[in-house]
A = this chain, B = another copy of it.
Amino acid sequence: MLPRGRPRALGAATLLLLLLLVVGFFLFGRDPEYGLRAAATFDGDPYGSRNRSASGLHPLLPPKCELLHVAIVCAGYNSSREVITLVKSVLFYRKNPLHLHLVTDAVARNILETLFRTWMVPAVVIRFYDAEELKPLISWIPNTHYSGLYGLMKLVLPSILPLSLARVIVLDTDVTFSSDIAELWALFAHFSGVILLWLDRLRQTGWEQMWTLTAKRELLTLMATSLADQDVFNAVIKEHPELVHPLPCVWNVQLSDHTLAERCYLEAADLKVIHWNSPKKLRVKNKHAEFFRNLHLTFLGYDGKLLRRELFGCPNQLPPGAEQLQQALAQLDEEEPCFEFRQQQLTVHRVHITFLPHQPPPPRPHDVTLVAQLSMDRLQMLEALCRHWSGPMSLALYLTDAEAQQFLHFVETSPVLSARKDVAYHIVYRDGPLYPVNQLRNVALAQALTPYVFLSDIDFLPAYSLYDYLRASIEQLELGSRRKAALVVPAFETLHYRFSFPNSKAELLTLLDAGSLHIFRYHEWPQGHAPTDYAHWREAQAPYHVQWAADYEPYVVVPRDCPRYDPRFVGFGWNKVAHIIELDAQEYELLVLPEAFSIHLPHAPSLDISRFRSSPTYRDCLQALKEEFHQDLSRHYGAAALKYLTALQQSQSRA
C-alpha cells in the first residue's frame, strides 16, 4: 500500500491499479456508485454478464499480430517477484506480441534482465528505463515512504516513454490477469480519434504542467504533508473530468476487506483482472477470497517455461539465441543413447537471481563468499550452514516455480534464515531429467560479490572458524594481486546421522582416530582427495603445496574470476574434477591450509547417483563427456594438456 495523503477524502479510491494512461483513468471515486455507474454508460452492460457474447463487452479485438504495449514501474527484490507473477498471467492468456516497458531501479533491472534473457519467451520485447532519471521530476513531492516515489513515477511516464508510442497499458505489480490483455487493449478503440487527439494534446500542451500545477495546489490548499500518485491522479481527474474514461468494473476487481467489487463480480461471468490492493494480500478475509486466491496462486506456481509458446502465423519474434537453440535441439538424435545428456546440456534454464532481499557485502579486499547449489531436498541444511558460516553466501537453488514459493515460506518462517541478509539465493528453474550441477554452480559463482569464493557443496558444514581463518590466510598469503592460487580446504565425512561437530582441528583428529570421522570418500573414491595428503595435513603448521593428480576434486578457495565450471557435466560425476583440471591447466598453485576443514553429512543417495550406479548407459555417457572434455582441453591448452589425457588413459586401463 502506498501512503495516502488524504485517506478520508479519497474514501474507497485506494490505488489506481490499472491505468489506461493518456486514454483515461478508472476510478472508484468518493461516490461508491461512481465506478459502476460510469461503467454502465459505457456500453449499456456494465458487467458483461447477461449477454455473454464477447461483442457485448468488448469491441473488435486488435488484429492478430498487433504489438501491445505495457508499462510497469518496478523497484527492489519483492516487487521483482510480484511482477513476474503478473507477467506470467498476462503471457498465459495473451495471443499478441507484447512490448514491456519496465521502469526499474538497479536491483530490479539486474534481476529482470537476467530473468527475461533466460526465459526466452517468443514475441516479447523488453525495454528498460532507469528510474533514477525520473526521480528529479517527482522528488519535489513530499512523500512519506521511499517506495512511494516509484508510485509517483507513473505520473511522468508520458514524458519518458518513446514519442512514437501512442498507447500503453500501465499496470501495478500486484495485479493478476484472468483474461487476454488484448481485450483491455481493445477498449482503446472506443475512443478512436478523440483519444489520439488527447494524446497529442497531452504531449504538446502539457500533461506535465497539468499534474504538477494540481499537485502543488493540493499541497498548498490542503496542507497535505505527503502525496501519493493516487492523490495526484484523483486531483487532476477532478479538475479535468474529460480526461477520464472509466473501465468496466470487471477490469478492476479490487480485493480488500471492504471491497465494493462484490457487486460487480456477482453479476459478471467473466472477471478480467484481480487487484491485490489489500495490505493483507493473500490472507484477506473476503468471503470470496478463495476464488481470487486460487487465480493468483495459479500463476505464482505456474511453470514459466510453459510460456515459451510461439505465436503462430505472426512474423518471427524469437528472443536472442532462441533460434540457434531450437536448431541445435532439432539436430539432436532422439535415438542416440546419450540424447538426454545432450538435451540437458543445451537447456537454457530461467534464472531469478537474488530471489529474496539481499544486502551486498561491503567491499573488503580479503572477503570470501561461500558458493554452493541445492535442490528442495537439502533445504534443511541451510540453517546449519548459516550457523557454521557467518560470511556472505551465494547459493543457487534448482526448483520448480511452486517449490520457489515453498522456499520463500521456509525462509520467512525461519528466524535463523530471515535474520541473514548476506545470503543471496538464486533460483534456477527446473527443466529436464538430469541435474545441471555445473550450470547451477556457475550461476552462484557469477553472483558472488567478494574478491574470493569458497567453492563448497551443500552437504558440507565448514569448521566454525573457517570464514575468519580463510580471510586471515588470504591476507597473509598475499593472494590475488601477485599469486594465482587455489587454497584447499580438506574434506572429511561422518557416516553417523547424529553427530557432534568438532570445534578445532585437535577435536577433529581425535574423532578421526576414534573412527567417528573419515577422510571424505576414503574407501569409495580415494583418488578424489588423496593428493591433499592428509598425513601431511595432520602435522602441518603452515600452508603446503600439493600437485594435481588424476581425479583430484578438492574443495577450494579461489579468486572470483576463476574459470567457470564446465556445463557439459550434468547429472552425477566428474563435474568438480573437470574444474580442478581447468585450474591446474591455468597454472593455479594448489595450497592446502593446515587449520581448514569441512565435514560432509550423510544423506540418502541422490536420484542421479542411483542412476549412475544402476545404468551402464549413464556411465557410458559420462565417459563420452569426459573424452569430449579432454579433446577441448587439448584444443585449448595444446601440449600442456597432454598430462590430463595420459592420466585419464592410465586410470581407464586400471579400471
Chain A residues near B (Cβ < 8 Å): 49-55, 59-64, 95, 182, 265-270, 283, 285, 288, 290-291, 294-295, 297-298, 301-303, 305-313, 334, 376-377, 379-381, 400, 402, 409-410, 433, 495-498, 601-605, 607, 610
Query: How many copies, total?
Result: 2
CB distance from A615 to the nearest CB of B (A): 9
Could you tell me the distance between the alpha carbons of A313 and B263 in the complex, rounded to whole angstroms? Answer: 10
Could you tell me the distance between the alpha carbons of A459 and B536 in the complex, rounded to whole angstroms? Answer: 41
With contacts A55-B53, A60-B52, A64-B50 taken as known, whether A267 is within 8 angstroms of B497 at the C-beta atoms is: no
Chain B residues lying within 8 Å of A302, measured Cβ to Cβ, are 298
Chain B residues lying within 8 Å of A62, measured Cβ to Cβ, are 52
Could you tell me the distance between the alpha carbons of A487 and B183 in the complex, rounded to whole angstroms? Answer: 67
Interchain CB contact under 8 A, B298 and A301:
no
Could you tell me the distance between the alpha carbons of A410 and B608 in the complex, rounded to whole angstroms? Answer: 12
Interchain CB contact under 8 A, A380 and B607:
yes
Could you tell me the distance between the alpha carbons of A53 and B55 in the complex, rounded to whole angstroms? Answer: 6
Could you tell me the distance between the alpha carbons of A400 and B303 in the complex, rounded to whole angstroms? Answer: 13
CB distance from A476 to the nearest CB of B (A): 37
Could you tell me the distance between the alpha carbons of A604 and B291 in the complex, rounded to whole angstroms? Answer: 37
Interchain CB contact under 8 A, B313 and A294:
no
Of the candidates B268, B309, B310, B380, the one whose C-beta lies within 8 Å of that of A604 is B380
Chain B residues lying within 8 Å of A303, measured Cβ to Cβ, are 297-298, 301, 402
CB distance from A605 to the nearest CB of B (A): 7
Of the candidates B294, B306, B381, B604, the one whose C-beta lies within 8 Å of that of A308 is B294
CB distance from A43 to the nearest CB of B (A): 13
- For the complex of A and B, list the 7 residue pairs with the smallest distance between their C-beta atoms, beginning with the closest: A54-B54, A497-B602, A55-B55, A52-B61, A294-B306, A266-B313, A495-B497
Interchain CB contact under 8 A, A288 and B306:
no
Interchain CB contact under 8 A, B306 and A298:
yes
Chain B residues lying within 8 Å of A95, measured Cβ to Cβ, are 269-270
Of the candidates B50, B294, B495, the one whose C-beta lies within 8 Å of that of A498 is B495
Residue of B nearest to A314 (CB): B269
With contacts A495-B496, A607-B380 taken as known, whether A55 is within 8 angstroms of B54 at the C-beta atoms is: yes
Interchain CB contact under 8 A, B307 and A294:
yes
Chain B residues lying within 8 Å of A59, measured Cβ to Cβ, are 53
Known: A290-B308, A303-B402, A495-B498. 5 other contacts (CB 8 A): A266-B313, A294-B309, A298-B303, A377-B377, A497-B497
Of the candidates B283, B305, B380, the one whose C-beta lies within 8 Å of that of A610 is B380
Interchain CB contact under 8 A, B265 and A312:
yes
Residue of B nearest to A609 (CB): B380
Chain B residues lying within 8 Å of A601, measured Cβ to Cβ, are 604
CB distance from A516 to the nearest CB of B (A): 11
Chain B residues lying within 8 Å of A607, measured Cβ to Cβ, are 379-380, 410
Could you tell me the distance between the alpha carbons of A291 and B305 in the complex, rounded to whole angstroms? Answer: 11
Chain B residues lying within 8 Å of A60, measured Cβ to Cβ, are 51-53
Could you tell me the distance between the alpha carbons of A616 and B91 in the complex, rounded to whole angstroms? Answer: 44
The residue among A64, A285, A334 with the most chain B CB atoms within 10 A of its own CB is A64
Residue of B nearest to A601 (CB): B604
Of the candidates B290, B313, B495, B605, the one whose C-beta lies within 8 Å of that of A49 is B313
Of the candidates B53, B269, B305, B313, the one whose C-beta lies within 8 Å of that of A267 is B313
CB distance from A250 to the nearest CB of B (A): 11
CB distance from A25 to the nearest CB of B (A): 26
Of the candidates B55, B291, B498, the one whose C-beta lies within 8 Å of that of A309 is B291
